[in-house]
Structure 1
Amino acid sequence: MLNIDLVDNLYASLSKEQQQNLCSLLFKNSKQTMNYFRRTKDISLSKLETLADFFHMPLDYFRLGNSFATNNVNGNNNYIGNVSLSNNLLIENDSLRKEVESLKETLKAKDEALKAKDDLIQAKTDYIEALKAQSSSK
């Protein structure tokens, strides 16, 4: 699956002209934007290759949960090609930070749902006990 946050961060770091160039490479004459990847949550191999070539990075780097690690990012002496490792790590850290926050929110929501379920069970148990006590007192 495509690491959409990484793609968004790399795209945001480009100048307007470079952004337009990348979009024209990816989407040809279509009026699509980079939001296409967030909407579809999918990418074809040809688009992934175009993206990887544009940023001079390996294909696996754009995969969610990749284990790609390197100390060498080669370029062709233009702004796009000189993406430094520290910049890549900052982008990746930001992406992971967002993912952790999302997981924390999901965990919090699950905890709240479990607490609501426990409260409901307790209320039903109390009600049953009250009914038993009422019927035994008659």
Structure 2
Amino acid sequence: MLNLDLIDNLYAGLTKEQQQELIGLLFKKSKQTMSYFRRTKDISLSKLEVLADFFHMPLDYFRVGSSFRANNVSGNNNTVGNVSVNTNLMIENESLRKQLEALQDVVKAKDDTLAAKDALIHSLQERLNPSVK
């Protein structure tokens, strides 16, 4: 069962821009709002994955009675639910580590491309002017 209070409080803690971004990710071009989850009391796996990815949390985190070890956190004078600070930080760190590795791969590929370009230029210059080395 979906922890609707947790979703409402996480959403309420976002800036207006972040709220609009999340709504756009969840509902694309439809006119739905976050109250959709309260009305339907249901969520598709794809929407749950969008929420989990947006908040950098595992899918099970959004279930009522989630088994994640945590501390209670309050928001808007209501208990939000259990938030595992260590788990969230580990997930975010893992995500950032993967992004860093991807960027390092891009930089290496660009360096390799530049080295190949320099070698080609040097080779062409040697062909045009054999006396230049």
Report the TM-score range of the alignment, normalised by the length of the smaller protein. 0.5 to 0.7
Give yes or no for contact 1:6–1:91 (8 Å, CA) kept in 2: no
Shift of 1:95: 4.1
Gaps (5+ residues) in structure 2? 82-133
Q: Which SS does the other structure have where 2:79 is aligned?
A: helix
Any runs of at least 4 consecutive aligned residues in structure 1 with deviations exceeding 4 A, and if so which? none
Aligned to 2:24: 24
3-state SS of the aligned residue for 1:30? Answer: coil
Partners in 1 of 2:8 and 2:19 — Cα distance?
11
- How far off is 1:69 after superposition? 2.1
Task: Map 1:54-133 onto structure 2 (within 5 A).
Answer: 54-69=54-69, 89-91=72-74, 94-95=79-80
Cα offset, 1:68, TM superposition:
1.4
Aligned residue in 1 for 2:4 = 4
Are residues 91 and 44 of structure 1, via their aligned partners in 2, closer, same or farther at CA, if it must alter by over 3 Å?
farther
CA distance in 2, matches of 1:28, 1:51: 13
The structure with the largest strand share of the pair is 2
In structure 1, the gaps of 5 or more residues are 71-85, 97-138
Q: What SS does structure 2 have at the residue aligned with 1:31? A: coil
C-alpha separation in 2, matches of 1:4 and 1:91: 15
Give the RMSD, CA atoms, in angstroms. 1.9
Give the share of equivalent positions with the same residue, in percent. 72
Structure with more of its chain in helix, by fraction: 1
Query: CA–CA distance in 2 between the matches of 1:14 and 1:34?
Result: 13
Instruction: Compute the displacement of 1:65 (Å).
Output: 1.1
Q: Which amino acid aligns with 1:12?
A: A
Q: TM-score, normalised by structure 1?
A: 0.53
TM-score when scaled to structure 2?
Answer: 0.55
